[in-house]
């Protein structure tokens, strides 16, 4: 593969910084963003709060114990997703090859952009500047010969960092780097490697391939390549990466409930989320899967085929209701979710009846409005009460793509 230049842009304490930007009173104080639910956790802590040990995933009591002066701010997911989209739009000005990695991270391949925008470092600086000008937020940028190295580079100097790892420096950078610093090596995998006496990337790179293969199978080979700083995966949009096979959403309810009316309102909301996403990507559901989690975390799913492929919210909602009606709830429900197996609609079956066609047109019109003004701007009266944000936004949220996203 010809030499590439990849940038990884990572927003600094994304949610917390947005809140501090919105409310100047928060700027000099330790801030932790929490979900809207009753049993929520911290999704992002400001750098100030992090100094006290406040981390993502902690509950409120732990955080308050570590940092009594911490200010909790409830998440405003629509603002975060909107900001994420704006940042992506800035990146699009520098290269068409962009891969949103999460709500606050993205890769951009600038290999072909240097003649237009200058050296990789110049491009990185321009991006950081544009993001700060347009959103008021700080970001850290890593530059590397591939995604793995770019991601490592962006994590090496935070906040407001800019680190360049040149092709020739890869080996020396990795030599003494603990294996868990590499994206893709989690705590569990690192633990297994440590148990084998492998602590640094240098050691991992020197480990005979046969040993790694016998311990980790296919992953073993990839681990060795990663430790050598080799990563050939392209910067690809979500659509290019995967052919979507299913679309789903789930929601942890603000409080456990067995009230069918409440649950039905959530089902409609979830149906609209799943269907609008399917519509946006030209997908139609062939099978509907309902997930229910009880208060004791017992989780089960029920599914049924959809009689004809559809992405009509009403049709999917009615089928979800039928599944729901067939379940005898034994406990209060904690989480509810629906997912659809989908196929791409190359050919679209038209409806015979004017009334059905009008509904298709109506959905199209709704989608156009919601595309511009945010999801659920135009929606069903039934779910108005539950409108507004619930829960916590998932770190896997991406501004584009039809991926299976959970609201947790």
> Contact positions toward other proteins, by CB under 8 A?
286, 307-309, 315, 318-319, 321-322, 343, 345-356
Instruction: Name the CA radius of gyration of the chain, rounded.
Output: 23
Residue closer to other proteins (CB basis): 308 or 327: 308
Per DSSP, the three-state class of 388 is: coil
Residue closer to other proteins (CB basis): 354 or 385: 354
**Nearest distance in Å: CB 312, other proteins:** 10
Residue closer to other proteins (CB basis): 156 or 321: 321
Residue closer to other proteins (CB basis): 209 or 318: 318
With a CB cutoff of 8 Å and minimum separation 6, the contacts of 382 are 264, 265, 268
- Cβ atoms of 202 and 175 within 8 Å: the answer is yes
**Nearest distance in Å: CB 200, other proteins:** 44
- Cβ atoms of 145 and 5 within 8 Å: the answer is yes
- Cβ atoms of 245 and 340 within 8 Å: the answer is no
**Nearest distance in Å: CB 307, other proteins:** 4
- Cβ atoms of 29 and 89 within 8 Å: the answer is no
Give the pairing of strands 42-45 and 31-34: antiparallel
Neighbour tally for 318: CB within 10 Å: 13
Residue closer to other proteins (CB basis): 240 or 356: 356
Q: 373, 300, 287: which is closest to 334 by C-alpha?
A: 300
What residues act catalytically? Answer: 105
Angle subtended at Cα 329 by Cα 326 and Cα 334, rounded to the nearest 5 degrees = 120
**Nearest distance in Å: CB 300, other proteins:** 18
């Amino acid at each position: 593969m010809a030499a590439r230049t990849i940038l990884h842009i990572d927003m600094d304490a994304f949610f917390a910084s947005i809140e501090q930007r919105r409310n100047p009173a928060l700027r000099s104080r330790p801030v932790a963003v929490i979900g809207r639910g009753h049993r929520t956790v911290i999704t992002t802590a400001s750098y100030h709060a992090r100094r006290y040990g406040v981390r993502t995933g902690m509950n409120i009591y732990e955080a308050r114990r570590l940092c009594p002066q911490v200010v909790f701010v409830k998440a405003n997911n629509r603002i975060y997703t909107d900001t994420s989209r704006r940042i992506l739009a800035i990146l699009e000005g520098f290269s068409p090859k962009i891969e949103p990695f999460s709500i606050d991270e993205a890769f951009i391949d600038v290999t072909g952009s240097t003649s237009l925008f200058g050296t990789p470092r110049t491009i990185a600086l321009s991006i950081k500047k544009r993001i700060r000008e347009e959103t008021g937020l700080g970001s850290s940028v890593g530059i590397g010969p591939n995604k793995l190295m770019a991601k490592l580079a962006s994590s090496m100097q935070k906040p407001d960092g800019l680190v360049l790892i040149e092709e020739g420096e890869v080996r020396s950078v990795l030599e003494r780097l603990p294996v868990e610093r590499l994206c893709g090596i989690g705590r569990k995998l690192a633990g297994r490697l440590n148990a084998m006496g492998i602590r640094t990337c240098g050691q991992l790179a020197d480990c005979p391939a046969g040993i790694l293969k016998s311990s980790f199978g296919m992953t073993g080979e990839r681990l060795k390549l990663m430790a050598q700083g080799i990563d050939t995966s392209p910067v690809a949009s979500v659509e290019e990466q995967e052919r979507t096979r299913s679309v789903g959403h789930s929601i942890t309810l603000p409080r456990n409930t067995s009230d069918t009316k409440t649950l039905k309102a959530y089902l409609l909301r979830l149906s609209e989320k799943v269907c609008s996403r399917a519509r946006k990507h030209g997908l139609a559901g062939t099978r509907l899967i309902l997930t229910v989690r009880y208060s004791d975390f017992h989780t089960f799913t029920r599914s049924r085929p959809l009689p004809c492929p559809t992405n009509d919210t009403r049709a999917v909602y009615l089928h979800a209701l039928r599944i729901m009606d067939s379940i005898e709830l034994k406990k209060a429900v904690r989480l509810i979710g629906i997912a659809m197996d989908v196929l791409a609609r190359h050919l679209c079956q038209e409806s015979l009846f004017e009334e059905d066609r009008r509904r298709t047109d109506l959905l199209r019109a709704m989608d156009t409005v919601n595309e511009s003004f945010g999801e659920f701007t135009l929606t069903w009266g039934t779910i108005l009460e539950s409108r507004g944000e619930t829960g916590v936004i998932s770190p896997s949220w991406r501004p584009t793509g039809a991926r299976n996203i959970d609201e947790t």
